[in-house]
Amino acid sequence: MKKAKKGTVLKVLRYTGRHNALVALSLLLSLVCVACNLYIPVLAGRAIDSIKGAGNIDADSLIRNIIMILAAAGISALVQWIVSTLNNSVSFRVVRDVRNAAIEKISTLPLSYIDSHPAGDIVSRVISDADNFAEGLLMGFSQFFTGIMTICGTLVFMIRISPRITPVVALLTPLSLFVASFIAKNTHAMFAAQSQARGRQTSHIGETVESHNVIAAYNARERAVREFDEINEDYAKYSLKAIFFSSLTNPCTRFVNNMIYAGVALVGAFSAVSGAITIGSLTAFLNYSGQYAKPFNEISGVITELQNSLACAERLFELIEAEPVEPDGENAVSRSSLGDEITLENVEFSYDKEKELIKNLNLRVSPGEQIAIVGPTGCGKTTIINLLMRFYDVDSGSISIDSVDIRDIARKSLREGYGMVLQETWIKTASVAENIALGKPDATREEIVAAAKSAYAHNFITKLPQGYDTVISDDVSGLSQGQKQLLCIARVMLSLPPALILDEATSSIDTRTEINIRKAFAGMIKGRTSFIVAHRLSTIKNSDKILVMKDGRVIEQGSHEELMNKHGFYETLYNSRIQG
């Protein structure tokens, strides 16, 4: 745990080091602010000593010191405002850099990481944890450095006033830090648990909102609320424990410091009565002892707050340092220089290495061939698509294009060679035209409209408030699932890459529109290698080759007629679907 915390602090300092100029200016101005604050007790002591007794007042000295006190306080306030602004700037720039690093890392993470971590937890790290990290960092900048300077400055002034009393204050006051340190050790784990619970809470809320209609349809609202209550209870439990222990810090340290202050005041009073120190000097010394103790209270508060900040930072850096997808090799080739013959040889793959999925898969696809993949749910149909696109790499065996292993092909080039229409649609928060042109940003409006017409999406698009310029999103768009899928089909119609992947591409489209889409697909597929995953077996009867999968293996392959004549699993599957 100590090594982890130390490592996190060093990482934070590396990000802070990018803004050394602002940090240096903040430290310099903090020194000016501390100097002004430390000079005020000296002036106050002189002002008090200028009042020697009834009718015996050095008016010039009194007025002069009062004016200087006001000037020092004014300068201190102005400089403090500038320092606060600089500290805010540094803190939020650091958090901006960390957030940028997190977002950049997300774009390079393998699909396996995204699949194994709830989306809400990742969002919580980038947003909530980053905000909490910023608050702790800001408090550190605002109080830590100023506190250190104040401690050093007050020591100098106290020694000048009373070398005898100063060691008592200097040696006893740091006891408050030991109290704070003891409490801090017990709060870090609780703040870490709090952050994890917050991630689960965010994830659950996101899932509940996104699946509201499904929850309502299955009368699962009470269960969803009950599950949230359990997560919320955990969050409350960890939060209350963390807050309870952290809230002990300030009262405990103040108690120690107040006891020391009372003792110094008592000793100082006897010294003043004996004439060893003037009333003004005693007043200044007590003021300095208070200023000396105050940073210890503030630093102890910072230490407590930093436990939460470091716990959040650890989760952020865990994301930032996650293993990225393996980069393309230096000699990675471009798919554009290859043909379209695709070969899968002895391919084996599983998401969970303890559970087999794809086993000894062999397939050769000639250029322009239409390959349909059918089989029961969970047999590995979509997994083959993931492997072709290199969202996952095979565990053993190889997938090659024109005898070149796809692991030796640049990912960008490989994926540009495929046009995908999936069962699950994704709409970007942008205009309809921008969504269609996602794969071809430089497309003209005429090309976009032509693609929409080919996908039979033009009619409903023209009925939208601003037509092709209407801004839509995946969550709030007013579009049906079928309309969203038509837009996804239009994307492929626009770019028309050399190979196509259609994974239940018409699953959300009505039968009449599907007939038109099939006609459009027929023209689009012609001359292009295509892989079609379908549950409606009637839609793939004309495929050149049908792969029948079961338990991760291709158990049958051939044309529709060949497979029906075998009277095997495909015939049973086909008849059950047709009758269903």
The sheet that has 358-365: what strands, in order across it? 358-365, 342-349, 396-401, 404-405
Provide, rounded to the nearest whole percent, the portion of the chain with pLDDT above 70. Answer: 86
What is the pLDDT confidence band of residue 359, given thresholds at 50, 70 and 90?
A: confident
In the predicted model, is pLDDT for residue 249 greater than 80?
A: no
- Coil, strand, or helix at residue 226? helix
- Coil, strand, or helix at residue 290? helix
Helix runs in 417-530, H state only: 432-436, 445-454, 458-462, 481-495, 511-525
H helix or E strand, kind and range, residue 407? none
pLDDT tens profile 368-418: 888 888 888 777 788 888 888 888 888 899 999 888 888 888 888 888 888
CA distance 30 to 21: 14
Instruction: Look at residue 579 in the predicted model and tell me its pLDDT.
Output: 46
Instruction: Look at residue 449 in the predicted model and tell me its pLDDT.
Output: 93
CA distance 551 to 566: 20
H helix or E strand, kind and range, residue 371? strand 370-374
Instruction: Look at residue 181 in the predicted model and tell me its pLDDT.
Output: 67
Instruction: Look at residue 469 in the predicted model and tell me its pLDDT.
Output: 92
**How many angstroms from the chain centroid is the CA of residue 51?**
62
Best CA proximity match to 166, nearest among 285, 70, 258: 285
CA distance 44 to 277: 15
Q: Alpha-carbon Rg of the chain, whole angstroms?
A: 35
Question: In the chain, what are the domains?
Answer: 2-320 (1.20.1560.10), 335-579 (3.40.50.300)
Range 493-521 average pLDDT? 74
In the predicted model, is pLDDT for residue 1 greater than 80?
A: no
In the predicted model, is pLDDT for residue 338 greater than 60?
A: no
List the single range of 64-78, 170-184, 251-265, 428-442 with lowest mean pLDDT: 170-184
H helix or E strand, kind and range, residue 506? none
Best CA proximity match to 389, nearest among 365, 358, 423, 413: 413
Report the greatest alpha carbon distance in the chain. 124
Task: Please give the DSSP secondary-structure letter assigned to residue 501.
Answer: E
CA distance 365 to 382: 17
Whole-number mean pLDDT of the chain?
Answer: 79
In the predicted model, is pLDDT for residue 129 greater than 70?
A: yes
Residue 356: Cβ-neighbour burial (10 angstroms; 0-12, 13-18, 19+): middle
Give 111's contacts (C-beta < 8 A, 6+ positions apart). 386, 391, 392
0.75 exceeded by pTM: no
Give 339's contacts (C-beta < 8 A, 6+ positions apart). 367, 401, 402
Instruction: Look at residue 580 in the predicted model and tell me its pLDDT.
Output: 42
CA distance 528 to 544: 12
pLDDT tens profile 8-55: 778 877 888 788 888 888 888 888 888 888 888 778 777 877 776 666
Token look-up 């009565």 returns 273
Task: Please give the DSSP secondary-structure letter assigned to residue 276.
Answer: S
In the predicted model, is pLDDT for residue 425 greater than 60?
A: yes
The segment with the largest mean pLDDT, out of 77-91, 192-206, 292-306, 412-426, is 77-91
Name the token pair of 128: 């909530």
What is the pLDDT confidence band of residue 509, given thresholds at 50, 70 and 90?
A: low
Instruction: Look at residue 180 in the predicted model and tell me its pLDDT.
Output: 66
pLDDT tens profile 427-466: 888 899 998 998 888 889 999 999 898 888 898 899 888 9
pLDDT tens profile 540-559: 777 888 888 887 778 888 88
Name the token pair of 41: 């007790």
Range 137-162 average pLDDT? 76
**Looking at this protein, which amino acid is placed at residue 178?**
F
pLDDT tens profile 49-108: 777 666 667 778 888 888 888 998 899 899 889 988 888 888 888 888 888 888 888 888
